[in-house]
Structure 1
Amino acid sequence: MKIHLTSVFVDDQDNALRFYTDVLGFVKKHDVPMGTDRWLTVVSPEEPDGTELLLEPSGHPAVQPYKTALVQDGIPAASFAVDDVQAEFDRLRGLGVYFTQEPLEMGPVTAAVLDDTCGNLIQIVHSD
């Protein structure tokens, strides 16, 4: 068994697609109209047939209170592996990305937390 698809709730799919592709560097995999929303997924360019991230609309009434509570408590909605957190932090900060947590070493793990501009906190992490 392996993870095929996971999702992150986003306030605006167009903004999310721009952020997750142009800023974070993912590539669009699927973009299928579904009424007023879309089945919109992105993948790592390093693993185009790997796990897909669904940029899921936040329309369900339970989503906004959930997202708000996570952000208020500083809890990331997702975690993405990078080769070098400090280098990725520097690159993303240079693109204007806002971080709620700068790179922090915690034993063998280094992590930072960013605001995805779509209502979520996202953690980037690497292990030594």
Structure 2
Amino acid sequence: MKIELTSILVDDQEKALRFYTEVLGFQKKHDVPMGEARWLTVVSPESPDGVQLVLEPSGHPAAKPFKDALVADGIPFTAFVVDDVAAEHARLKDLGVQFTQEPVEMGPVVTAVFDDTCGNLIQIQNMA
């Protein structure tokens, strides 16, 4: 058993695709029309055949209260690993990304948290 797909609930798939590709630097892997929504995935350019992130529409009635509760409590929906949190934080801030947590050392891990503009907080992290 292995993980090939993981999902994030997004308010707007097109907006999410722009943010996750143009700002974060992921690459579009699949974009298949499925009625009102799309099967839309992105991958890391460092691992184009690796784990795909599904930009899943958050239309289910439970999605909004769930996402709102996570954001209200400052809890990231997911985390991405970067080589250098401080450098990635600076790069993303220069692109206008809003951070809810600046880089913080937590023992052997450095983390920062940003708003993905699609209803989620996302953590970036690396081992110190």
Fold match, TM over 0.5? Answer: yes
1:11-43 C-alpha deviation (Å, 9 max, x unpaired): 000000000000000000000000010000000
Q: Structure 2: 5+ residue runs without aligned partners?
A: none
- State the distance in 2 between where 1:112 and 1:52 align: 22
Query: What residue is the counterpart of 1:45 in the other structure?
Result: 45
Secondary structure at 1:96's aligned position in 2? coil
Query: What TM-score does the superposition give when structure 1 sets the normalisation length?
Result: 0.99
Identical pairs, percent: 72
- State the distance in 2 between where 1:4 and 1:36 align: 24
* Aligned Cα root-mean-square deviation (Å): 0.5
- State the distance in 2 between where 1:106 and 1:78 align: 17
Query: What residue is the counterpart of 1:8 in the other structure?
Result: 8
Residue 2 of structure 1, CA deviation: 1.9
Query: What TM-score does the superposition give when structure 2 sets the normalisation length?
Result: 0.99
The one-letter code matched in structure 2 to 1:101 is Q
Residue 74 of structure 1, CA deviation: 0.5
Q: Structure 1: 5+ residue runs without aligned partners?
A: none
Residue 3 of structure 1, CA deviation: 1.1
Matches within 5 A, 1:25-104: 25-104=25-104
Query: What residue is the counterpart of 1:120 in the other structure?
Result: 120
Q: Is residue 105 of structure 2 the alignment partner of residue 105 of structure 1?
A: yes
The one-letter code matched in structure 2 to 1:114 is F
